[in-house]
Amino acid sequence: MTFWDSSAVVRLLVTQGASEKTAAWLTTDAALAVWTLTPVEVTSALRRLTREGVLDDHAVQQAETRLAQLVGTCHVVLDIEAVKALAIRLLRVHALRAFDALQLGAALQWAEHHPEGRTLYTLDQRLAIAARREGFLVPE
């Protein structure tokens, strides 16, 4: 099982620059773990793509349907209080945005605070750096 950040999940749902990379990642391990608020961030990204004219409404509706199906098959990290405490610590030691700290906190919670040998997939460079420093494997 691998942990997937929202940036990687978006590329699974819509074809963009790194979609081939994320599809390849998925073939190595189809068991995904995600943070409980990942659907919120992914929906925000999808709707931003609509406002920017990159995707039409039909494509976004299809992506949102696939998102619901995907989340239904994933391990979902639900412990908000534990993740919040981890995110606060992470913000003190890494150059992260709040939601990225929550994603990394969720990944640490999923890994039971032992990230060594665990994989985190992300396309966000700041999150990738912090995840590596915390001990996760983060493929390029």
pLDDT given for residue 30 in this prediction: 80
pLDDT at 27: 87
| Confidence band for 11, pLDDT divided at 50, 70 and 90 | very high
Q: Give me the mean pLDDT over the 101-130 stretch.
A: 97
pLDDT of 132 above 90: yes
Is residue 20's pLDDT more than 90?
A: no
pLDDT at res. 29: 83
Average pLDDT in the chain: 95
Task: Catalogue the long-range contacts made by 46-55 (C-beta closer than 8 Å, 24 or more residues apart).
Answer: 46/10, 46/13, 46/14, 49/14, 55/14
pLDDT at 15 over 90: no
Class level of CATH domain 2-134: alpha beta
The pLDDT, as a whole number, for residue 79 is 97
Per the CB < 8 A criterion, the answer to whether 103 and 127 are in contact is yes
